[in-house]
Amino acid sequence: MATDTPARLAASHPRGCTIVVRRRHADSYQYLLLHRTIGGPGSTGLWAWCAPSGVRRETEPVFAAVSRILSESCGITGANILPVDLGRQQSLWLATVDADTVVTPDGVDFDEYDWVDQAEAEQRCLPAVNAECFGFTARIPNVDIDFRATTTDDADTFAQWSHNEHIAPWFGKELSADDAAHATNQDTFAALGGAQYIITIDGRDSGVAQFSQVIESAPLFGALGRPDGLTCHLLNADVALRGNGLGPHLLWTFLHRTALRQHPRTNWIFAPVRPNDTAGLRHLQKSGFDRGAITDIVVQRDETVCSVYLPHWITASKEST
């Protein structure tokens, strides 16, 4: 008689995921907790309650694993699941769902559920390492992110941003009116098989996102050697939104909605960052990038090139949002 063969678990990073699920309640959020069956009905204490979580199967793309785990553990499908920290062995994600979302524990690993505030979630989910996910995600705002191609009408915005001490290093210098007009021109990026966009957050101009094809630039191709690669640069120019955990969500949303729609056969994404930019390096690590070697792609400026291999993270259908 044929028997089901248990799926082999992933040996590569990340091996599993935790998905913090929240819903709006009055002026704050409630968080979904699942009760583990292993301790029996009504059990409390270590690991009795937790956020939805599970392990990735061998060769399973990470984003696909997250959707599967959320569906299997508690019956939630179609949620917009945001990456929060992909640099962990147990990657961290966030889903904000409607107040009437139906929850159905699988009855195998989980037998109960509850919606509670952050304080109670952290109290029930023992030990502390089991509860830290709620603190990590609590500061992440529920915002609408979009992208529009830059035009020379954005020159004044670029010039203003380049004079902000927190943003100026990204531009390399304070931009004159002519510099800003040149920086917003799409021709440079089009010649490299790429494009440049203004990031809008809740309808407000909040940053810049760029991509280009490695193969269209002799210095890039010489340094990276990947004809199926893109380079990517992002700037969050809204200081009020910095440090709130939006970075990985912003980067992957940009890739899905723009770069990978235009170049669906891309396998590698490269993100150069200055070696002393610890915040930039940490952001890329949390977005799933591996830190690479220091190279001088830009003349007279060393950069650390971080990379991500897309088939490890997403399915072959890269055109999806």
As a whole number of angstroms, the distance between CA 45 and CA 36 comes to 11
The pTM is what? 0.91
pLDDT of amino acid 279 = 87
As a whole number of angstroms, the distance between CA 12 and CA 89 comes to 9
pLDDT of amino acid 297 = 60
Strands (E), 14-162: 16-25, 28-36, 49-50, 53-55, 81-85, 90-97, 110-116, 145-149
pLDDT of amino acid 53 = 96
Residue 214 · residue 220 · CB < 8 Å = yes
Give the angle subtended at the CA of 249 by the CAs of 209 and 137, to the nearest 5°: 140
CATH class entry, domain 145-150+186-313: alpha beta
As a whole number of angstroms, the distance between CA 153 and CA 162 comes to 16
**CA torsion through residues 259, 263, 269, 272, sign:** negative
Per domain, the residue ranges of the chain are: 16-138, 145-150+186-313
The low-confidence residues of the chain, meaning pLDDT below 70, are 1-6, 293-301, 316-321
Q: Which residue has the tokens 């191709």?
A: 221
For domain 16-138, give its CATH number from 3.40.50.300, 3.40.50.1820, 3.90.79.10, 3.40.50.1000. Answer: 3.90.79.10
As a whole number of angstroms, the distance between CA 70 and CA 72 comes to 6
Tell me how long the chain is.
Answer: 321
Q: Report the SS3 class of residue 108.
A: coil
Upstream peptide bond of 227 is cis (omega within 30 degrees of 0): no
Residue 39 · residue 48 · CB < 8 Å = yes
